[in-house]
Amino acid sequence: VYLQPDRESDEGAIGVHGITNEFLVGKPRFAEVADEFFDFIKGAQLIIHNAAFDVGFLNNEFALIGQTDRADITRHCTILDTLAMARARHPGQRNSLDALCKRYGVDNSGRELHGALLDSEILADVYLTMTGGQTSLSLAGNASDGNGSGEGSGNQASEIIRLSADRQPGRIIRASE
């Protein structure tokens, strides 16, 4: 979802992401999607490169619309910052998303501009490679059966596992922990 920021984008920003002011005309404002977005992230683990940057924007948007109870998303979801993780693993080296792609052999050739969707797909590949876990990310894979075994029924589209709303709020996990 693209959002109307209620201000003009400067030419420098447009050069980075390619999103023009004209394109954003008629797009929803954050206030219109805030509840749905909050429900989406509540109880989730967000994997973000340079999390302080994005989390700061999100917190500010919630504060601007008067949702002060949501203006610190770290109380409602877990944040894993891959930049902090990369800095711990590769001190003194460049750890931008592009640098990590090069270091880990992740193809970012389609990344001419910075876009949230493409960047998140690239970050998923970098994270999986960096952690030595799964070797690929597929949303079409087997869903979990909820008992921790990792084996699902194969009915991926209908299996959604929700966390309890009264569980302890998430916290930021830093690479050094």
Q: Can you tell me the mean pLDDT for 15-19?
A: 85
Segment 81-98, tens digit of pLDDT: 999 999 999 999 999 999
Query: What is the pLDDT, as a whole number, of residue 136?
Result: 54
Q: Can you tell me the mean pLDDT for 35-61?
A: 96
| Backbone angles phi and psi of 12, in degrees to 5 | -60, -45
- CATH number assigned to the domain covering 11-139+166-173: 3.30.420.10
Percent helix, percent strand, percent coil in the chain, to nearest 5: 45, 5, 50
Segment 50-89, tens digit of pLDDT: 999 999 999 999 999 999 999 999 999 999 999 999 999 9
| The Cα angle at residue 26 between residues 25 and 32, in degrees rounded to 5 | 125
- Residues belonging to the active site: 114
Q: Give the number of other CB atoms < 10 A from CB of residue 79.
A: 22
Segment 113-160, tens digit of pLDDT: 777 888 999 999 999 999 986 555 555 544 444 444 344 434 334 444
DSSP 34-101: HHHHHHHHTT-EEEETTHHHHHHHHHHHHHHTT-GGGS-GGGTSEEEEHHHHHHHHSTTS--SHHHHH
| Backbone angles phi and psi of 137, in degrees to 5 | -120, 120
Alpha carbons 47 and 132: distance in angstroms, whole number: 15
Query: What is the pLDDT, as a whole number, of residue 35?
Result: 97
172 pairs with which residues across the strands? 79
Q: When comparing pLDDT for 117 and 106, which is higher?
A: 106
10: CB partners within 8 A, 6+ apart:
none
Closest CA to 126 of 113, 116, 136, 117: 136
3-state secondary structure of 138: coil
